[in-house]
Amino acid sequence: MSIYALGPIALWVGLALALYGAVVGHLGGWRRDPRLSEAAVGAVFGTSACVALAYALLTAAFVTDQFQFSFVATNASRAMPVWYKAAAVWGGMAGSMLLWALILAGYSTAAMLATRRRLPRLAPHAAAVLLTIMAFFLIVMTFSSKPFERLDFLPLDGQGLNPLLQNHWMAAHPPSLYLGYVGWSVPFAFAIAALITGRLGTEWITAMRKWALFPFLFLTIGNLMGSHWAYIELGWGGYWGWDPVENSAIMPWFAGTAFLHSIMIQEKRGMLRMWNMALIVLTFSLTILGTFVTRSGIIESVHAFASTNVGIVFLTFLTLVIAASVGLIWWRSDLLTTENRLESFVSRESAFLFNNLLLLGIAFAIWWGTFFPILSEAFTGQRISVGPPFFNQVNGPLSLALLLTTGIGPVIAWRRASRRNLERNFRLPLAVLLVAGVVAVAIGLRAWYAVAVVAFSAFVAATVIQEMWRGTRARMRSKGTGAPASLFGLISRNRRRYGGYIVHIGVLFVFAGIAGSMFQVEERARLSPGDEIAIGRYAVEYRGGDVEGGPNYTATVANLTVREGGGEPYRVRPERRFYPEGQEQTTSEVAIWSRLFEDFYAILETFDPATGAADITLIVNPMLMWIWIGGGVMVFGTLIALSTPQRTAARRPARDEEDETAEVAIA
């Protein structure tokens, strides 16, 4: 028996265990039966082992060129480097589903290990929900999109992975994005468990804070990687094209960010309980929708959706998830009432609510723009496209308002902001806003959006610096330490809060990069060897082209020498690669001279080997580097927030001298 025969068996056994665990989990939780509850947790471990085995076998099949499997034959070839063969597992539908299941297995196992003792009332139901999600993906893989389906014949070679995907950023992008997508399953599962058990206080919210930060972190990384891949691989000079697949990845990020903010209001003020439930259901549903959009073919056409049954399976699951969640929220609506009411519109609660509405407004605008062509085709038979101008016009003002609330939220008072509070906390940041706006106009910025970004960013930076300084000063007074030690201690003792502020700083940098891209300059020319062209401050000389060979492609390369303002020459070599095997595809490998405040970007459009002439597009992208720097800062801030020690019964607060957070002395 070939070892690969175990692949489908592992999926079938995994499915059986997942269904069994889903039943015993709910039964165990409902009856408070420890044996049934433990059996559900055991089923999580068992199902995870089965999925891991299936994934390992599929990876081995790719690496060892097992072209008897249809999925391997259509996504790999002998000439591909081993690294891309392993990454090709998630290059198609069936492997992507298996990767989804593998990541869910990892999250579910970790969640059960962390919570089964700490949250014994919620854990069995949460295990059941996680296993239900797992069962859905295993059903897709056993009945519809089968990773181990065999061909009737043995091909000599496979068709190879789409050349566009043969890029290290694209190889790492799907796992990161899936770590983000799938991670929302854990807070969703515990939210459903809280609804079933009626334990709707702060218990599940407190326990799920970190579990919500993980998917936020990976969605941030995944979207950054995807943007970077688009920037360096697609060869159109930008990083975000409002493509439906991109949009599907960013929608859960916005909804999840809203959730991360609004749970703070529930923790502090006992408000927004139903809202938080709705937000986590929405975020999880958007992750399923994102997978559905990417994998169903519905984006190309509603007819493509009808031609595959995967789309219908996904839509059915999504409908069931939403219907069951809404039903549970309605059933528990009496327990989801708020402890406190909004006392003033000028308060932190109100600012957070406004921030939530903006985040959801942006998510809704993206959803509408993404699905409008599909809806129009479904209802009228005519596909009406929605392009980047729609997204930019709607999301531009919303994003600016969001940027402003990023500064207001952290410093405005709880309950109701008095005049004294407003004066004390906003006088300096507003002065900085005005000065920055005037300076922006004085240095020549005329686009209102760019001026607003500069002014609002300065405002947010001022609020963050003011917050850090005040916290540091308070600590200096209470501890008698110097400023650096006090700042370090402040951040160290309040990692969630100050990690969040660091994320806000990262957001400012990203905004700076986006605003800079408005000033993009582009030139296109047909050049013969020895020709020169000027773009902005750059003088570019074309020194002819070459034809070169790669491991599984041939490339035409243009040699360009670039001088900025008469400075030292810099050599850039944009390429066009032709992959002869499989899909016979051509890709553009752009050349980028990237600096802190400007990117010089060159694209080789065509090359004539006979004459040496080439069509070349040159682009100058100001501030683009700040998108990647800002993303890095956001990741760093999230990691700081994630490093907050868990303060629970299982891990009680440390009782050392430095533990200032929770020391209670009963005299």
Q: Which is closer to another protein, CB of 13 or CB of 555? A: 13
| Residue 514: both structure tokens together | 């986006």
Q: Which is closer to another protein, CB of 119 or CB of 515? A: 119
Q: What angle do CA 159, 165, 167 make, to 5 degrees?
A: 125
The residue among 227, 92, 243 whose CA lies nearest residue 159 is: 92
Q: Which is closer to another protein, CB of 155 or CB of 653? A: 653
- Cα–Cα distance for residue pair 88/174, rounded to 1 Å: 11
Residues contacting residue 173 through CB under 8 Å, at least 6 positions apart: 222, 225, 226, 229
Q: Report the Cα 658 to chain-centroid distance in Å.
A: 36
- Tell me how far, at minimum, the Cβ of 90 lies from another protein, in Å: 22
- Tell me how far, at minimum, the Cβ of 18 lies from another protein, in Å: 9
Q: Which is closer to another protein, CB of 206 or CB of 559? A: 206
- Tell me how far, at minimum, the Cβ of 39 lies from another protein, in Å: 4
Query: What distances in angstroms separate CA 285 from CA 126, 248, 260, 337, one per listed residue?
Result: 17, 11, 16, 23
> How many CB atoms are located within 10 Å of the residue 379 CB?
9
- Tell me how far, at minimum, the Cβ of 389 lies from another protein, in Å: 40
Give buried/exposed letters for 440-474 (b at 16+ CB in 10 A, else e).
beeeebeeebbbbbbbbbbbbbbbbebbbeebbee
Q: Which is closer to another protein, CB of 37 or CB of 223? A: 37
Q: Report the Cα 318 to chain-centroid distance in Å.
A: 20
- Tell me how far, at minimum, the Cβ of 411 lies from another protein, in Å: 7
The residue among 522, 562, 556, 524 whose CA lies nearest residue 542 is: 562
- Tell me how far, at minimum, the Cβ of 439 lies from another protein, in Å: 27
Q: Which is closer to another protein, CB of 183 or CB of 410? A: 410
Give buried/exposed letters for 193-219 (b at 16+ CB in 10 A, else e).
bbbbbebbeebbbbbbbbbbbbbbbbb
Residue 104 near residue 42 (C-beta atoms within 8 A): no
- Tell me how far, at minimum, the Cβ of 412 lies from another protein, in Å: 7
- Tell me how far, at minimum, the Cβ of 428 lies from another protein, in Å: 12
Q: Which is closer to another protein, CB of 10 or CB of 462? A: 10
- Tell me how far, at minimum, the Cβ of 666 lies from another protein, in Å: 5
- The DSSP output letter for 140 is I
- Cα–Cα distance for residue pair 443/17, rounded to 1 Å: 66
Q: Which amino acid belongs to residue 114?
A: A
| Residue 219: both structure tokens together | 């969605």
Q: Which is closer to another protein, CB of 57 or CB of 562? A: 57
- The DSSP output letter for 481 is -
Q: Which is closer to another protein, CB of 45 or CB of 354? A: 45
Q: Which is closer to another protein, CB of 632 or CB of 653? A: 653
Give buried/exposed letters for 533-560 (b at 16+ CB in 10 A, else e).
bebbebbbbbebbeeeeeebbebbbbbb
Helices (H), 480-537: 483-493, 495-516
Residues contacting residue 549 through CB under 8 Å, at least 6 positions apart: 555
- Tell me how far, at minimum, the Cβ of 95 lies from another protein, in Å: 19
- Tell me how far, at minimum, the Cβ of 471 lies from another protein, in Å: 6
- Tell me how far, at minimum, the Cβ of 4 lies from another protein, in Å: 9
- The DSSP output letter for 177 is H
- Tell me how far, at minimum, the Cβ of 456 lies from another protein, in Å: 21
- Tell me how far, at minimum, the Cβ of 646 lies from another protein, in Å: 9
Residues contacting residue 618 through CB under 8 Å, at least 6 positions apart: 522, 523, 524, 525, 533, 535, 538, 540, 600, 601, 602, 603
Q: Which is closer to another protein, CB of 45 or CB of 449? A: 45
Q: Which is closer to another protein, CB of 309 or CB of 648? A: 648
Residue 496 near residue 641 (C-beta atoms within 8 A): yes
Q: Which is closer to another protein, CB of 187 or CB of 545? A: 187
- Cα–Cα distance for residue pair 621/306, rounded to 1 Å: 41
| Residue 397: both structure tokens together | 């003002």
Residue located via tokens 């009496």: 334
- Tell me how far, at minimum, the Cβ of 75 lies from another protein, in Å: 23
Residue 300 near residue 376 (C-beta atoms within 8 A): no
Q: Which is closer to another protein, CB of 420 or CB of 446? A: 420
Q: Which is closer to another protein, CB of 210 or CB of 497? A: 497
Residues contacting residue 444 through CB under 8 Å, at least 6 positions apart: none
Residue 7 near residue 148 (C-beta atoms within 8 A): yes
